[in-house]
Amino acid sequence: MRLLFEQWAFSISGDCHSSSYKSDKSAIKSALSLFRVKWKLLRLKYEFFFDCYYLTEKYNASQLKKLAAYFQDIVPYFAKKASKDVDSVFLSETECKRIPRALFKHRLANNHWANRKPKKLLVVANMSAGKSTLINALVGYRLNRTKTTVCTSRICMLYNNRYNKEGIITHSNQSSFHPEIESTSSDDFTSASLRFNSSLNDRAICVIDTPGYNNVDHPEHRKTTEDFIKSNHYDAILYVADGRYMGTTDEEILLNYIHLNTQKPIFFAINQLDRMKESEDSIKKIIGDFKSHLKRMKFSNPIIVPVSAKASLFFKLGKNTLNDDDRFEYDQLSIKFSRNYFDLQAYISEAESTNPLDATGIHQLETIINNILHL
C-alpha cells in the first residue's frame, strides 16, 4: 500500500525521490498535502482516500475496518475529517455532501462494472482460418500475431476494459501498462485488457484466441484447444471456417469434437470471403452449403455470419495506420466492399450496408455475439 500511495503522490507531484519518505505517516502526509509546485491547495484529500479504499476493497476487503482505524491514527489533522467521511462511504454506504459528487458517481459505475463477470467467447478453428485476425478485427487493434504460416501457439485472453480509454494492461508473469496498444503483441502476454474499438466496448466481455487445431507439426496445439473446449471456462464458442476450404475432413473432425465435448452455445463465422470472385463463387451458396453440412452434423439451426476479418480490421484501423503493402490492399478492399456482391451482411439480413465496414459483416457479428452471450 505504501508503495501505491507513493506512486499516487508522485503522479501528482512529479517528485521521484521515493526513498525520502521515512514512514507511512510522512508518505501519506506528503500525498495529501503535497509540496506541489504552484499548487498547494489541499483539494485531493477525498480522491486520495477513495483510491486507498478502492485498492483495499479490491485486494483485501476484510481489512477495510482496519484501514479506517489506521487512517484515524495516522493521517494529519487537516485530513482527519475527509478520512472519516470516506470511511462512512465504504463501510456503511453513507453519502456526505463534502465529498465531490464525481467520486460517488465513479464509485457507482465502478461497482456496477465490477459486479458484472465478463462473459467469455472462445474462438476456435483449424490453422490459418483467420481466428487471430478476426479477434483483432473485433477488438480493433493488431494484437494477435497473424501470418500465413502457423502462429498462435497458446491460449490468449483479451478483456474489454470499459474505463481505460487508452493503452493496454498485459499480464504474463507480471502485469504492465503500455500506453501504445499496438506496441505489444499477444506473444508477450497470456491475457490483457484494453478498451475494444467495437460496438462491444461497453460490455463485460473477454475474447479467447486458441491455436490452430489441425497442426500436425505441433500436436500440443490440438491438445491445448481440446483442453480448453472441455474445460467449460467460457460461455460460447465462435467457430471460424475458412470460406475457401469448407467441408474438409479436418473441419469435420474439429466440429465433431466440439459437438461431443461442449454444451455451450456455438455459432459460426465464414471468413476470408473477400477472396471470392463474383464470376466463380456464389457466397449465398457457400453459406447455404455450410448450413446443410452443419445440420447434417446435428447442429440444429446454426447461426452463420459471413465476414472478412482482414477488411474489417483494415477499415477499423484506417488507411493512415497501414504500411505501403497494406494500403494497396486497403484500396482494393474498399472498392470490393462497395459492391453489392461483397455486402456480406445483406446475405443474412434485410439490412443493406451503407459503408464498407458494415459490408464486411463485423458489426453483424458483434450484434450476434452480444445476443448470444446476453451481454
Residues that bind ligand GTP (CB under 6 A): 125, 127-133, 146-148, 150-152, 211-212, 271-272, 274-275, 308-310
Q: How many CA atoms within 13 Å lie on the side-chain side of 27?
A: 19
Distance in Å, CB of 278 to ligand GTP, minimum? 16
* Contact between residue 136 and residue 252 where contact means Cβ atoms under 8 Å apart: no
Residue 135: partners with Cβ closer than 8 Å, 6 or more residues away = 123, 143, 144, 158, 207, 209
The 3-state DSSP class for residue 131 equals helix
CB of 346 to ligand GTP, least distance (A): 17
Q: Which of ligand GTP, Mg ion, none interacts with 193 (beta carbon under 5 to 8 A by kind)?
A: none
Closest to ligand GTP by CB, 163 vs 245, is 245
For 137-168, give the DSSP string: HHHTS--S---SS----S-EEEEE-SS--S-E
Choice between 79 and 238, CB closer to ligand GTP? 238
DSSP H or E stretch at residue 371: helix 362-373
Give me the residues that bind Mg ion (CB under 5 A), please: 131-132, 152
Q: Which is nearer to Mg ion, 51 or 226 (by Cβ)?
A: 226
Q: In whole angstroms, how close is the CB of 130 to ligand GTP at the nearest point?
A: 3
Closer residue to ligand GTP in complex, CB, 118/212: 212
Contact predicate 230/207, CB 8 Å: no
Q: Which parts of 61-206 fold into alpha helices (H)?
A: 64-74, 80-92, 101-114, 131-139
Q: How far is the CB of 284 from ligand GTP (least distance, A)?
A: 18
> Is the separation of the CB atoms in 6 and 16 below 8 Å?
no
One DSSP character per residue, 256-296 reads: HHHHHH--S-EEEEEE-GGG--TTT--HHHHHHHHHHHHHH
| 30: its cell numbers | 506528503
To the nearest whole angstrom, how small is the minimum distance from the Cβ of residue 201 to ligand GTP?
21
147 binds, among Mg ion, ligand GTP, none (CB under 5 to 8 A by kind): ligand GTP
Please tell me the distance from the alpha carbon of residue 224 to that of residue 156, in angstroms, as a whole number.
Answer: 11
Q: Are strands 205-209 and 266-271 parallel, antiparallel or unpaired?
A: unpaired
Minimum distance from residue 143 beta carbon to ligand GTP (Å): 11
Shortest approach of Mg ion to residue 211 CB, angstroms? 7
CB nearer ligand GTP, residue 118 or residue 130: 130
Closest residue to bound ligand GTP by CB: 212
Closest contact distance (angstroms) between CB of 209 and ligand GTP is 7
Question: 286 vs 309, which CB is nearer to ligand GTP?
Answer: 309
Which lies closer to ligand GTP via its Cβ, residue 8 or residue 239?
A: 239
Cβ proximity to ligand GTP, 68 vs 359, nearer residue? 359
Number of other residues whose CB lies within 10 A of the CB of residue 91: 13
